[in-house]
Structure 1
């Protein structure tokens, strides 16, 4: 059997295992281990050992539990509730103002957490019931929460970009900075869409009644201070890092300790909250580490088979495709996989193939910039795939968290406008790479 056929058989076996409901790390790591032992005998056992050693020696991985802990502290201590109250009052006079405020809430939660699941949980439990009670259109608001929560994997500190950095061997700091402008641009596009649509049809997002907006200025300013907390945490974490005073790991520790100190100062760090934060941090961190270990082992076997060179030869020589066509086909494949896989599974399945291939394409950018830019493209495409029927990840999260009056049909019908906005953003980032590359170039030029 040729190496190309072995690689194809491995890929098909892995997909079959995933479709049977096996855990991601078990399916990927298991196929990698069986293939390594079959191809190289007992010497194949060195592959998972080398992958484990590489994982343990990757110092920036320490940022992962720090940021996860920070996110759970802020979520479990109900600081996100304060943020929504702030948006509720300050954005109430605007048509669709509470929906716009929800997008703002999602951006701030993303800057505190780095996981889309946290944004979805906060949006569905805090914002959605309030929006429905205020007479907002249920299709629009479910779309708002799904789209807003997807920003969690793009706005730093994105946990998904940490995973991409490990697999693609790229600096986490540059990837985070590359996600800032695209993430804010996409949030701005969502806000513009909501505002225009609610201006054209005010029934979709009615203005908050005047009596509820008639708060003393002192109370409004006190509520506004709630929005400063994530900014303080983000500044305490990123300013020292950007200026070179601390390493990335040290900055993540500063962020976690700052969030913890704020929760203690507000009297919300109870024993129960602390236990939940610690347990959830341990569970999520271990899950990501197992997945990274499996991905590294799978990628090592693929490298040994020469699968990347075979795919490169198929696309560029046998089919004669130009680099941009190859890139677009890769993004389409992500969208298709996103109908039944989550972002982590998609990355570890195709990263061993796509990352080396992207690095060889002549896209008019230096190699080190191409892989940073592609990390943002991958993340945005994953956001779109999260909301793509029939099995988009966010669709089922919303169904699980939404109240009974919101049906699955409503949820499916809510996402089309937001998917179109996200695809427009993806096209802009592909056409103008500096949207993603300008900030890391500017910061690291110092």
Structure 2
């Protein structure tokens, strides 16, 4: 049996097993180990799984994963983000669409302290959504804003998805996180520009706060909210400034972030044993899930390396189809968007990365830059039916008068904005590469 046929059987078996509803890491790991046993015998199959486990346990930056996840859950469960939203409510309320713009800024800051889209969705749906609907914001505009803003969680550092990509692509996590800063801010700026323009020409979509209400807010109250709302920003700066300045490594910075968030929650009297227990349990569950997925991905990729399946795909693209390097890159991004309609981000990465990462390296594209492109594509996948994670989360959290049809229609303009952002980053790679080159190669 040819290696190409074995690779095709591995893909087919994995997709078929996914339809049974089994856990992602179990499906991928099972296919990898069975294929290794078939190819190299019992000892080869067992050695494959053991070797990938050792490789995973020796990857020191992986310790950042539970720290950042814990920090995000502390921010969420202790309601530290509430102060942040009240600040945006007061300072941006007079602007057309101001509360929606404030929601995007809230999501950016939450993303900078969490790294998961789910946390942003939970905070946006529980804090921003009721307030926006109460103030007569258009329900489609509101649901689109929250879904788009929450998707920034996997691009703005510390991104958990980028940790997974870094492990598979063997790239420094710190460089990937820095590469996500400018594209993340670019997407946020494009979202804000779109919201402002829509509400400027159609004020009924996002009416500003009434003048009578604005007059009731004193200047002292404004500055008090500004101080309280900037506390989460302080947590982020305390965590990232020592890392960027070179005083700490990534792992130490993640510990500083977790301690800072916990200290602020204690200082405000919002950290209880119950909240600590909830944060710890959720952190353990998410961290273990990612560890199993990374382990399965490494095993799957090792089998593909042994099969030299990359050579087969390269010959297909370059020799048989005669495509250029940019055409191949665009085709790979389109395949990610297509897969994103029925797979989540980790599944896409685990399935395709063993093939695409070596091809990107062979085409002489920067793997850090490509990691940003992949992450933006995952953001688009989070919002595209029928699978889109954020669509399901929004439906579960939204009130009954917000229908699934409203949610689907709400994301159309924001997906268009994200595709525009993806095209800009593809056309101008330095948007992603400037910051890591500046800080890693002074």
- Category of TM-score, reference length = shorter chain: over 0.9
Cα root mean square deviation, aligned:
0.9
Counterpart of 1:112 in 2: which secondary structure?
coil
d(CA) in 1 for partners of 2:404 and 2:17?
Answer: 28
Equivalent position of 1:383 in the other structure: 379
Does residue 395 in structure 1 map to residue 391 in structure 2? yes
Please give the TM-score of this superposition, normalised by the length of structure 1.
0.97
Offset at residue 125 of structure 1 (A): 1.1
Equivalent position of 2:32 in the other structure: 32
Q: Deviations over 1:221-269 (max 9, x none)?
A: 1111133222211111111111211111011101111111111111111
Does residue 426 in structure 1 map to residue 422 in structure 2? yes
Q: Deviations over 1:83-141 (max 9, x none)?
A: 11111111110111110010011001001111000000111111111111110000111
Equivalent position of 1:285 in the other structure: 287
Q: Which runs of 5+ in 1 are unaligned?
A: 364-369
Please give the TM-score of this superposition, normalised by the length of structure 2.
0.98
- The total of aligned residue pairs comes to 440
d(CA) in 2 for partners of 1:349 and 1:432?
Answer: 28
Contact 1:341 1:393 in 2 (8 A): no
d(CA) in 2 for partners of 1:66 and 1:179?
Answer: 19
Equivalent position of 1:225 in the other structure: 227
Equivalent position of 1:315 in the other structure: 317
Contact 2:179 2:368 in 1 (8 A): yes
d(CA) in 1 for partners of 2:441 and 2:318?
Answer: 34
Does residue 87 in structure 1 map to residue 88 in structure 2? yes
Offset at residue 211 of structure 1 (A): 2.8
Offset at residue 390 of structure 1 (A): 2.0
Does residue 48 in structure 1 map to residue 44 in structure 2? no
Equivalent position of 1:9 in the other structure: 9
Contact 1:106 1:148 in 2 (8 A): yes
d(CA) in 1 for partners of 2:62 and 2:324?
Answer: 36
Contact 2:383 2:415 in 1 (8 A): yes
Equivalent position of 2:297 in the other structure: 295
Aligned ranges 1:131-210 → 2 under 5 Å = 131-210=132-211
Greater displacement, 218-227 / 264-273: 218-227
Does residue 97 in structure 1 map to residue 98 in structure 2? yes
Counterpart of 2:322 in 1: which secondary structure?
coil
* Matching residue within 322, 336, 339 for 1:337: 339
d(CA) in 1 for partners of 2:161 and 2:229?
Answer: 25
Q: Which runs of 5+ in 2 are unaligned?
A: none
Offset at residue 212 of structure 1 (A): 2.4
